[in-house]
Amino acid sequence: MIRVSGLRKSFGKNEILKGIDTEIKKGEVVVVIGPSGSGKSTFLRCLNRLEEPTGGQIWFEEQQLTGKQSDLNRIRQRMGMVFQQFNLFPHMSVMDNLTLAPRKLKNQSKGAAEKIAMELLKSVGLEDKASAYPDSLSGGQKQRIAIARALAMEPAMILFDEPTSALDPEMVGEVLDVMKRLAKNGMTMVIVTHEMGFAREVGDRLIFMDGGVIVEEGDPRAIFENPQHSRTKDFLSKVL
């Protein structure tokens, strides 16, 4: 579904990504972990070019994503993103947050878009919040809405950038539950997270990043139980 080769990213003289090669298959749930500053969020943000890569190539559904002539807006419609800070649109109701993009970009009628949105709200357990504004929601509710907003575009894949890091501990579970359900239903997901238990349980594949490179990748359970690389061992010993 997405193929990355030789991906590099520098901010000024500071090289954050030093050549990333990987491939993510349809339906795969890839969990990216690593110490802060390892480049894992930058890697994720390069996948939909919210960060402009300095080098390397990315293909998504056989289309080249890097390069000037690629239709980025069209590609992004197929690749949702969920942010650490939720980034709901505060001047719109929950319903409008969900329906704006489908109506404007996919020419869905108001009625059709709202019907889909209502289904999605139901699936994240927030159908009673359709007319609420983001200000009145808890962090966990906001993030569930943000996931529903990404789903409303019916993407082929969703990127999650530390989706539970800004949440109070008691709200982490409700968001992870929604993500688990997505994973079970076959959504292709790339998740940058600090939730090791979740990574082990839900991930089909784990990527451990440090210093701008992929240090180790493979089956999450195998890596958690028997890390091959000393840096992986070192990191896991600190967080587990």
Partner 1 sequence: MSLDFTFMAKYWEMFLQGAWVTLQLSFFGVLLGTVFGIFLALMKISKVWVFRALSSTYIEIIRGTPMLVQVFIIYFGLVPFGLELTKFEAGIAALTINSAAYMAEVFRAGINAIDKGQAEAARSLGMSHGMTLRHIILPQAFRNMLPAIGNEFIIIVKDSSLVSTIGAAEIMYTARTVQGAAFKPLEPLLVAAAMYFVLTFTLSKLLSALERRLQKR
Binding site for partner 1 (CB under 8 A): 48, 50, 73-77, 79-81, 83, 85, 87-91, 100-101, 104-105, 133, 146, 149-150, 153
Q: In the complex with partner 1, which residue's Cβ is closer, 104 or 115?
A: 104
- Expressed in angstroms, the distance from the first to the final Cα of the chain is 31
Q: In the complex with partner 1, which residue's Cβ is closer, 162 or 210?
A: 162
Min dist CB 147 to partner 1, Å, is 12
Min dist CB 150 to partner 1, Å, is 7
Q: In the complex with partner 1, which residue's Cβ is closer, 105 or 222?
A: 105
Min dist CB 179 to partner 1, Å, is 17
Q: Is 6 helix (H, G, I), strand (E, B) or coil?
A: strand
Read off the DSSP letter of residue 187. Answer: -
User: Would you call 36 exposed, middle or buried from its count of C-beta atoms within 10 A (0-12, 13-18, 19+)?
Assistant: exposed
Rounded CA separation 41/44 (Å) = 5
- Angle between the N-to-C axes of helices 169-184 and 139-152, in degrees from 0 to 180, rounded to the nearest 10: 20
* Nearest CA among 190, 95, 191, 202 for reference residue 152: 95
The CA-based angle 94-203-156, given to 5 degrees, is: 50
Min dist CB 72 to partner 1, Å, is 8
Min dist CB 125 to partner 1, Å, is 22
* Nearest CA among 233, 212, 166, 205 for reference residue 9: 212
Give the tokens for residue 206. Answer: 């784990």
Q: In the complex with partner 1, which residue's Cβ is closer, 43 or 224?
A: 43
Min dist CB 196 to partner 1, Å, is 26
CA atoms within 13 A on the CB side of 53: 26
Q: In the complex with partner 1, which residue's Cβ is closer, 42 or 48?
A: 48
Q: In the complex with partner 1, which residue's Cβ is closer, 48 or 141?
A: 48
